Amino acid sequence: MRILLIVCLCTTTLYSMKRQNTCVDAELLLIIREPNGVVHKKTKTVSFSQEVQARLSRATNVDDLLWEALDEGDADLIKAVLQNGAGIEALSEEGLTPLQQMVIYGDIKLTKLLLSHGADYFAVTKTGKTLAHLVVHYNKGSMIPFFDEKRIPLDGADYKGVTPLHVAAFLGRAMMVNALIGCGAPYNVKDEQQRSVLQYAVTKNHTSVVTALKNQGASLDETTPFGRTMLHLAKSSAMVKLFAHLVTKKDAKGRTPLHAAALLGRCSVLGSLKEAGAEVDARDNEQATPLMLAAQKGHAFVVRDLLQLGAQVDAVNLFGQTALILVITSEEELDEEDRLAVVNVLLDAKANTDVYDKGGNTALYYAKKKKYQYIIQRL
């Protein structure tokens, strides 16, 4: 690490006849110590305007004056306060360093100035955000090539393992995704919860980012730790089209993407999944169909749409339970209105009320046991 010492040798006052402005010159001795012990010495004269010098003389705290200069974008004043002892890493009220604040502003000129005065580009925020995180979060894409040129890291993770590329994917900033990957940021990284950059894009329904990642070489076939494909996470027809080749893939519970959509109440993707080749009555490890999961969750509209797509209303699971029995026995915190809505949809589809499960009980038995009078009246 190079060590720089600055010693003020003398000052002189010059009067500019052209500008009618007083300048104060300071002759500085620069002492640069290289890592190998070699020391270089040279002098440099810097001129401060009368206004800058006046502000310096009035300042009670040079760190505060530095922040004023940064807010004003006054490069001369910034240089002056730094050369008069202001802390290059002095924190703002928000806990940011001057360099971090200039990155947030997207001010490349002042960022360069601070870096030239030794600002630490490895410094992170209270939550572990790097400079590159700030660039992405505040949408300052012009900073990325500059960072790459200056060898400022673009792939550092925060305290939760989230990289700038994760953030760009989450926010749907496809151009930044391309820029970061183009500058060497890896796209196959995962956060501490093992969520990938691709997963961030899919869960926020950013198809443009998924396309960008695909074009950059990312595999669309990755799975979560529970074996779910990206199609299991799809929230729109457009996203389904990107991952249609995964339509029959099952997760660790034997559930297909259609099971996942039914469970989460995603009506908007049911038709697209069917068109992509999804089996409407696919079975999971407990022989449950998507219709059963939707009924159990109280998703009446999903139940209706699945029935319209051809789902069997009286299919039974490993325990002999139909969708009708499951919605009545569901332990989910369902409102009476939601539970009854599912019952009505199933009964309108001619659900058999006389089916006995493996415990020898019918839907009516369970309705009476739970004292669901509003359902008993329908049965």
pLDDT in tens, 207-255: 999 999 999 999 999 999 999 999 999 999 999 999 999 999 999 999 9
Q: Are 167 and 201 in contact (CB under 8 A)?
A: no
Q: Which residues of the chain have pLDDT under 70?
A: 1-48, 52, 59
What pLDDT sits at residue 81?
86
What pLDDT sits at residue 43?
55
Q: Are 291 and 312 in contact (CB under 8 A)?
A: yes
CA distances from 354 to 4, 331, 345 (A): 88, 22, 17
Q: How far apart are alpha carbons 165 and 146 in whole angstroms?
A: 17
What pLDDT sits at residue 15?
29
pLDDT by residue (tens digit) across 275-326? 999 999 999 999 999 999 999 999 999 999 999 999 999 999 999 999 999 9
Percent of the chain with pLDDT over 90: 76
Q: How far apart are alpha carbons 331 and 342 in whole angstroms?
A: 15
267 Cβ contact partners less than 8 Å away, ≥ 6 residues apart: 301, 302, 305
pTM over 0.95: no
Question: CATH number of 282-379: 1.25.40.20, 2.70.70.10, 1.10.8.50, 1.20.81.30?
Answer: 1.25.40.20
269 Cβ contact partners less than 8 Å away, ≥ 6 residues apart: 234, 235, 236, 237, 239, 240, 261
Describe the chain by its helix, strand, coil percentages, rounded to 5. Answer: 45, 10, 45
For the packed helices 98-105 and 62-72, what is the interaxial angle rounded to 10 degrees? 10
> What values do phi and psi take at 77, rounded to 5?
-65, -40
Q: How far apart are alpha carbons 279 and 248 in whole angstroms?
A: 8
Domain extent listing, the chain = 1-58, 282-379
Structure tokens given for 225 = 């730790």
CA distances from 330 to 73, 196, 254, 326 (A): 62, 33, 20, 6
What pLDDT sits at residue 40?
57
Cα angle at 192 between 189 and 193, to 5 degrees? 100
Structure tokens given for 190 = 């995962």
Q: How far apart are alpha carbons 132 and 136 in whole angstroms?
A: 6
What pLDDT sits at residue 58?
77
Torsion of Cα atoms, 366 then 367 then 370 then 373, to 10°:
-170
What pLDDT sits at residue 41?
56
H-assigned helices in the chain? 50-58, 62-72, 75-83, 98-105, 108-116, 131-137, 143-149, 164-171, 174-182, 197-203, 207-215, 237-242, 257-263, 270-275, 290-297, 300-308, 323-329, 336-348, 363-369, 373-376
Instruction: Give the amino acid at 113.
Output: L
How many CA atoms lie within 13 Å of 18's alpha carbon, on the beta-carbon side?
0
Q: How far apart are alpha carbons 301 and 345 in whole angstroms?
A: 9
Backbone dihedral region of 103: left (phi > 0), alpha (psi from -120 to 50 degrees) or beta?
alpha
